[in-house]
Amino acid sequence: MKLNWFKREGIFFIPTSVAGWMIFACAMVYAIYVFMDIDSRSHSVSDTLMNFVFSLLIIGAVYSFVAYLTSTQVKSANNEKSK
């Protein structure tokens, strides 16, 4: 069973179904929650950003992994020419 929740556009994954949009929305809401949590415990802007960047990278990696597993495969022009 092939899940087509995302479409790959270059290095980005664009949601194409309701499930894809829900995963995207959950990732954004969680990123905002993490930012607010870190900001409430930080003493400066640099302290907030330094701690948030690592969390944002983890959220982005998990989103990209899920999107990669559930995306449609786009055929490149090089593969079609060689056949």
pTM confidence score: 0.79
DSSP string, 20-78: HHHHHHHHHHHHHHHHHHHHHH-SSHHHHHHHHHHHHHHHHHHHHHHHHHTEEPPPPHH
Q: Which of 9-13, 25-29, 34-38 is predicted with the least confidence, judged by mean pLDDT?
A: 9-13
Contacts of 69 (CB under 8 A, 6+ apart): 3
- What's the pLDDT tens digit per position in 34-53? 999 999 998 999 999 999 99
Sorted by where each begins, the domain ranges of the chain are: 6-72
Q: Are 46 and 21 in contact (CB under 8 A)?
A: no
Whole-number Å distance between alpha carbons of 33 and 43 = 18
Q: What is the mean pLDDT of the chain?
A: 88
pLDDT value, residue 82: 53
